[in-house]
Structure 1
Amino acid sequence: MIPVAIVDDGEADRYLVKRRLARSGKFEELIEFSSGDRFLDEFSNGVASVYTGNLPLLILMDINMPGRDGFQTIEELSLLVRESGRPDNTLILMYTSSLNIRDQERAKELSIIKGYLAKPMRNDSVERMEQIYRACCAA
């Protein structure tokens, strides 16, 4: 089972992802964060929900959120990992309704981001998530 978290201020988006992933039977129960700050608080405080043992945590990151946006959250996460000396045990996919070409280009430029999924979550998105996760974990 693939451990997965979503960082998205949209409650309906989180609910839809939760239902789609549960139906697939290949993902653990979704860990939900309504903001980048909440995710980073738990990550930096070592809360167990963001640590998954040997398996990398698959993170679906929204771009447009109040406060810290998805890119700012990813930059802070990278800094926290470097400063802590812990191995980076995350795999990030952007999950967004943004059609802005600059967002897509920026996501491609950051090696920590392994893919870009458009909202809303569809069955083929779930399959793509699994394929990306398996490919990254096999490497």
Structure 2
Amino acid sequence: MLPNRPFTILVAEDDEEDRLLLDEAFMQNGLFDCGRFVEDGEQVMEYLLNCLGADAVHPLPSLIIMDINMPLRNGLETLHAIRANRHLKNIPVLILTSSRQEVEKAYRMGANSYLVKPIQFTELIRMIGEVATYWRDTVNLPYNE
């Protein structure tokens, strides 16, 4: 990560309870102001497109964690749209779901990682901590302009 660049995670999750649990897992890992939450694929694209240009509302997220099964535009359709946009294609996308059925398809479409939602909250806290450590502190993320 580049110095002075905020680390933000855009989370696309349609289930309100899961969003609350993810937000709490961020807080438990000291990621108090990192998470931005949207509910579906259309909101993902709206958020991302509002990050572009001179009148950008906010900077592009450092990382996207996205559920596959969302209304309006599912996670794989949204992933395809992200990878097709030259301004967005380098943002790492982690697929988060309760199903292992679409793993290969997600990777073929350009997912950077595939995470299965843990059943226990303590495991979710651990997983979010590991994700943040790896994507924030270990890898050198591309800087999207």
> So what's the TM-score if we normalise by structure 1?
0.77
State the partner residue of 1:137. 140
Q: CA RMSD in A?
A: 2.4
Size of the alignment, in residue pairs? 128
Taking every aligned residue pair, what percent have the same amino acid on both sides? 26
More helix by share: 1
The alignment partner of 1:59 has SS state of: strand
Alignment of 1:91-130 (within 5 A): 91-100=92-101, 103-111=102-110, 113-120=111-118, 122-130=124-132
Partner deviation per Cα, 1:84-136 (whole Å, 9 max, x = no partner):
xx364522111111131xx111122234x221111146122113312431343
Q: Distance in 1 between matches of 2:89 and 2:32?
A: 20
8-17 vs 40-49, which moves further: 40-49
Would the aligned equivalents of 1:3 and 1:27 in 2 still touch at CA under 8 Å? no
Instruction: Say if 2:44 is the partner of 1:69.
Output: no
CA shift in 2, pair 1:109/1:87, >3 Å: closer
Alignment of 1:30-69 (within 5 A): 30-46=35-51, 47-49=56-58, 51-52=59-60, 57-69=62-74
Would the aligned equivalents of 1:57 and 1:89 in 2 still touch at CA under 8 Å? no
Q: Distance in 1 between matches of 2:77 and 2:130?
A: 25
Query: Shift in Å at residue 20 of structure 1?
Result: 0.5
Would the aligned equivalents of 1:95 and 1:117 in 2 still touch at CA under 8 Å? yes
Letter in 2 for 1:48: V
Q: Distance in 2 between matches of 1:13 and 1:91?
A: 21
CA shift in 2, pair 1:87/1:34, >3 Å: closer
Letter in 2 for 1:61: M
| Structure 1 consecutive aligned stretches of length 4 or more whose deviation exceeds 4 Å | none
The alignment partner of 1:127 has SS state of: helix
Would the aligned equivalents of 2:103 and 2:114 in 1 still touch at CA under 8 Å? yes
